Amino acid sequence: MNEVTRILNAIERGDAKATDELLPVVYEELRLLAAQKLAHESPGQTLQATALVHEAYLRLLGDEGQTWENRAHFFAAAAEAMRRILIDNARRKRRLKRGGGQEKIDLGDAEPATNGPDDDLIALDEALEKLARLDKVKADLVKLRFFAGLTGEQAAKVLGISHNTADRYWAYARSWLHLEIEGKCDL
C-alpha cells in the first residue's frame, strides 16, 4: 500500500491528522495535473495552477462522507474537481463576455466575438454530460483520460475494465464527442 492510500484510509477512519498529511504528499502531482489542464486554456487565463490545486483540494476535503478507494480514485476525483472549477470559471467568463455589467458601445467600434478555449471547454462539458446519460463508463473514461491525465491502462484499472475495452471505448467516445460538438450526432 503506497503512502497516499495509507493516508486516505486514515482519513476515512476519521484520523484528523491524516488530512494535514495528505496535501504535502500529493501536492506536486496535483500541481502538475493542474498545469496540464491550464495549458489548454486561453493565454489570458487568470486562474493559476496553485489556485486550482488549492480550490480542488478544498472541494475534495469539504465533501462530507467522501471516501477514496485508492490513489487512482483520489486523483480521478481531483481531476473531476478541477474540471468542474474550470467549467465554472469558463461559464462565469462567458456570462461576462455576453454582457454581464458591460457598457454599451457604438457598433462601429465593436469587434466580433470569437470562439475561444472557454467556449470549447463548455461545449466539451455539455457533450460529455450527454454522453454520460447515454453511457456513463465511456464518459468516465474520457474524464479520467482527458481531465485526470491517466493512461488508458490506468483508467481501465480505475474503471475495472480491460485495457483493450478501454481502448475501444476511448476511440468511440472521442469520435462521438467530436461529432456531438460539431453538431452532427443524432443520438
The CA radius of gyration of the chain, in Å to the nearest whole number, is: 19
The residue from 76, 101, 126 where one domain ends is 101
Residues 91 and 158 in one domain: no
User: pLDDT tens, 13-62?
Assistant: 777 787 778 878 888 888 877 777 777 666 556 677 788 888 888 888 77
- pLDDT at 138 > cutoff 90: yes
Residues 18 and 86 in one domain: yes
Around Cβ 19, how many Cβ atoms within 10 Å? 13
Residue ranges in the chain assigned as alpha helix (H): 3-12, 16-39, 49-62, 71-97, 117-134, 136-142, 152-159, 163-181
Residues 66 and 121 in one domain: no
- In the predicted model, what is the mean pLDDT of residues 131-142? 92
Around Cβ 134, how many Cβ atoms within 10 Å? 10
Residue 86 burial by CB count (10 A; 0-12/13-18/19+): exposed, middle or buried?
Answer: buried
Q: Domain span at residue 72?
A: 1-101
Residues 85 and 121 in one domain: no
